Amino acid sequence: NAGVTQTPKFRVLKTGQSMTLLCAQDMNHEYMYWYRQDPGMGLRLIHYSVGEGTTAKGEVPDGYNVSRLKKQNFLLGLESAAPSQTSVYFCASRRLLAIQETQYFGPGTRLLVL
């Protein structure tokens, strides 16, 4: 049981380049989330998914796209990276309607856009 994993751990991009961040969970959780964390701030929700094949926008979705083709994977894409997207990205998963709250976060992906 690996929990929530994120790939890659660190990436440097040039402005205009594209990339995909992968989040994988092996807990059969329905909900998955992508957040970004910037210095001195709490996390901000980019996109989320309530189940396989569904996605929805969070607070700061501009410049990002997501897909949830398989229940265990949630992909975050940057089509044309900008320096403002330099951040640490966290993925999280959660079980639907659990008696006890279950939320798990990945270790993060540090992205630098030059």
Partner 1 sequence: AQSVTQPDIHITVSEGASLELRCNYSYGATPYLFWYVQSPGQGLQLLLKYFSGDTLVQGIKGFEAEFKRSQSSFNLRKPSVHWSDAAEYFCAVATGTSYDKVIFGPGTSLSVIP
At which residue do the structure tokens 């094949």 appear? 53
H/E stretch holding 90 reads strand 87-94
Contacts of 29 by beta carbon, 8 Å cutoff, 6+ apart: 93, 94, 95, 96, 102, 104
Contacts 24+ apart (CB under 8 A), 49-55: 49/74, 50/96
Going residue by residue from 43 to 82, which x/- string records binding to partner 1, judged by CB under 8 A?
Answer: xxx--x-x-----x-xx-----------------------
Q: Is 22 in the site for partner 1 (CB under 8 A)?
A: no
Of the two residues 12 and 56, which places its CB atom closer to partner 1 in the complex? Answer: 56
Q: Is 106 in the site for partner 1 (CB under 8 A)?
A: yes
Which residues contact partner 1 by CB under 8 A? 4, 31, 33, 40-45, 48, 50, 56, 58-59, 90, 92, 94, 96-97, 101, 103, 105-108
